[in-house]
Amino acid sequence: MPVETQTADSYREDLVNSGVVIKTEELAKVYEMGAEQVHALRGVNLEIRKGEYVAIMGPSGSGKSTLMNLIGCLDSPSSGKYWLAGRLVSDLDDDELAYIRNKEIGFVFQTFNLLPRATALHNVELPLIYNGTHKPNELSGGQRQRVAIARALVNTPSIVLADEPTGNLDSKTGEEIMALFENLYRQGNTIILVTHEHDIAQHAHRIIFIRDGKIASDEAVKK
Ligand code: ADP
Ligand code: MG
């Protein structure tokens, strides 16, 4: 047996060496709603390599956002394992998760988490459209999403997670936003985005369908 396979679970050098930046094993999430339990994820086994461009699709309520929250270290699983950049993060506490999250992950959400009065950008260069003088609530949806993407990149993360990034944009603006993701991908970042739009998903190189909290299919996009 090779030595690597005997090392502790908490750091998997074999994953790092083979370029696997995200690995989950039987990842599950149960939300407790009073007496009721919602099984949002029911055992997700997933490997994503550094530099991949992945779209996650699936019906509403199938667990897409829950999976993104776990991948993004915003939440912990109820059971199962998750290695991020080789490190077992599924049993870290909230402070440790926050540290890893800030280091590794950039988020782009559909609803932009921008303070209305704060100037949208200070130290991020966004040559496309933004001149730094507008307040976020004066920006159009597309401009706000560009700002959200720029913000996601402030810490130069290698993994960019986007949950329905074009969800409330017209299709032209949506395509412009997708061009930004394409650039990030070309620069070597790992991109994972949730979308319910097939046209948007076609920008990715791999599409994972989630159904009832499990991966229903996982296929390369034919280019
Ligand atoms: P999707 O993003 O695919 O629409 P979600 O991951 O948001 O699905 O939700 C999966 C399931 O978990 C749904 O049944 C949803 O109602 C439930 N759920 C999501 N977040 C919570 C939460 N914070 N508390 C309780 N139930 C939740
Ligand atoms: Mg969702």
Q: How far is CA 119 from CA 124, 125, 133, 147, in A?
A: 12, 14, 7, 11
Strand partners, 81: 25
Ligand nearest to the backbone CA of 62? 1
Specify the residue with its C-alpha closest to ligand 1, atom 26: 31
Q: Structure tokens of 223?
A: 């280019």
What's the whole-number average pLDDT of the chain? 84
Count other Cβ atoms within 10 Å, centred on residue 119. Answer: 11
Report how far ligand 2's centroid is from the alpha carbon of 4 (Å): 37
Quick check: CB of 162 below 6 Å from ligand 1?
no
Angle at 192 between CA 190 and CA 196, to 5 degrees: 155
pLDDT at 132: 52
Report how far ligand 2's centroid is from the alpha carbon of 194 (Å): 8
The sheet that has 20-33: what strands, in order across it?
Answer: 36-49, 20-33, 79-84, 87-88
Closest alpha carbon to 64 in 50, 84, 46, 51: 46
Higher-confidence residue of 54 and 3: namely 54
Query: Mean pLDDT over residues 100-112, rounded?
Result: 78
Segment of 25-29, 122-126, 180-184, 193-197 carrying the highest mean pLDDT: 25-29
Quick check: CB of 31 below 6 Å from ligand 1?
yes
Query: Mean pLDDT over residues 94-106, rounded?
Result: 91
Distance CA 119, CA 117 (A): 6
Query: Mean pLDDT over residues 192-213, rounded?
Result: 96
Segment of 39-53, 91-105, 133-147 carrying the highest mean pLDDT: 39-53
Closest alpha carbon to 215 in 108, 72, 67: 67
* Full 3-state SS string of the chain: CCHHHHCCCCECHHHHHCCEEEEEEEEEEEEEECCEEEEEEEEEEEEEECCCEEEEECCCCCCHHHHHHHHCCCCCCCEEEEEECCEECCCCCHHHHHHHHHHHEEEEECCCCCCCCCCCCCCCCCCCCCCCCCCHHHCCHHHHHHHHHHHHCCCCCCEEEEECCCCCCCHHHHHHHHHHHHHHHHCCCEEEEECCCHHHHCCCCEEEEEECCEEEEEEECCC
Query: Mean pLDDT over residues 84-103, rounded?
Result: 92
Ligand nearest to the backbone CA of 67? 1
Ligand 1 atom with the smallest distance to the CA of 194 is 2
pLDDT at 180: 87
pLDDT at 20: 97
The model's pTM is 0.85
Higher-confidence residue of 157 and 70: namely 70
**Domain extents for the chain?**
49-76+95-220
How does residue 137 score in pLDDT terms, banded at 50, 70 and 90?
Answer: low
In this structure, are residues 165 and 177 in contact, taking their beta carbons and an 8 Å threshold?
A: yes
- Please give the CATH architecture assigned to the domain spanning 49-76+95-220: 3-Layer(aba) Sandwich (3.40)
pLDDT at 9: 87
Quick check: CB of 29 below 6 Å from ligand 1?
no
Q: What percent of the chain has pLDDT over 70?
A: 82
Distance CA 60, CA 196 (A): 9
Ligand nearest to the backbone CA of 57? 1
Q: Structure tokens of 5?
A: 């396979």
Is the model's pLDDT at 200 over the cut of 50?
Answer: yes
Distance CA 134, CA 116 (A): 10
pLDDT per residue as tens digits for the range 23-67: 999 999 999 999 999 999 999 999 999 999 999 999 999 999 999
**Which of 29, 38, 78 to mutate for ligand 1's pocket (most ligand atoms within 8 Å of CB)?**
38
